[in-house]
């Protein structure tokens, strides 16, 4: 007698996608915090840890609280919040990668500016 699978076929992809999304999210906010608190001579903003922690905490709170603002809009059968989130997500990842590529001289040639 053949043994039936315990889980649906797509569950592996669902779990993998969820973990990958969380990895990207927490990695990005960690890099953001480091960028805020590193010294300016290393190319960052050089803020105190207290200020960086306040901004970090506010960002995390807004990330978890803004879906409650979008829920009433979804009740009226509009897809605007979904497209809005997708657009911001794509722009954010593109800017993160473009900024990294720019700082490494891969995109638009080597750096020709100095903020010091």
- Over residues 79-110, the pLDDT tens digits come to 666 666 676 677 666 666 665 555 555 545 55
Triad 78, 69, 53: Cα angle to 5°? 135
Answering whether pTM is above 0.85, one says no
Q: Please report, for the chain, the start and end positions of each structural domain, with discontinuous segments joined by +.
A: 23-103
Asked if 42 and 102 count as a contact pair (C-beta separation under 8 A), the reply is no
What number of other Cβ atoms are within 10 A of residue 28's Cβ? 13
- Over residues 11-60, the pLDDT tens digits come to 999 999 999 999 999 999 999 899 899 998 888 889 999 999 999 999 88
Q: What is the pLDDT of residue 8?
A: 87
How is residue 55 written in tokens?
Answer: 């901004």
What number of other Cβ atoms are within 10 A of residue 37's Cβ? 19
Q: What are phi and psi of 111, to 5 degrees?
A: -65, 135
User: How far apart are alpha carbons 80 and 70 in whole angstroms?
Assistant: 9
Asked if 28 and 96 count as a contact pair (C-beta separation under 8 A), the reply is yes
Please identify which residue in the block is written with the tokens 């050089």.
46
């Amino acid at each position: 007698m053949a043994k039936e699978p315990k889980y649906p076929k797509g569950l592996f992809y669902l779990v993998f996608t969820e973990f990958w999304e969380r990895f990207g999210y927490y990695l990005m906010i960690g890099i953001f915090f480091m960028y805020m608190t590193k010294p300016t001579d290393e190319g960052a903003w050089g803020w105190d840890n207290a200020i960086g922690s306040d901004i970090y905490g506010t960002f995390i709170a807004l990330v978890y609280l803004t879906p409650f603002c979008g829920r009433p809009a979804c009740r009226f059968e509009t897809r605007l919040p979904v497209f809005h989130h997708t657009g911001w997500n794509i722009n954010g990842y593109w800017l993160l990668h473009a900024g990294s590529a720019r700082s490494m001289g891969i995109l638009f040639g080597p750096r020709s500016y100095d903020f010091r």
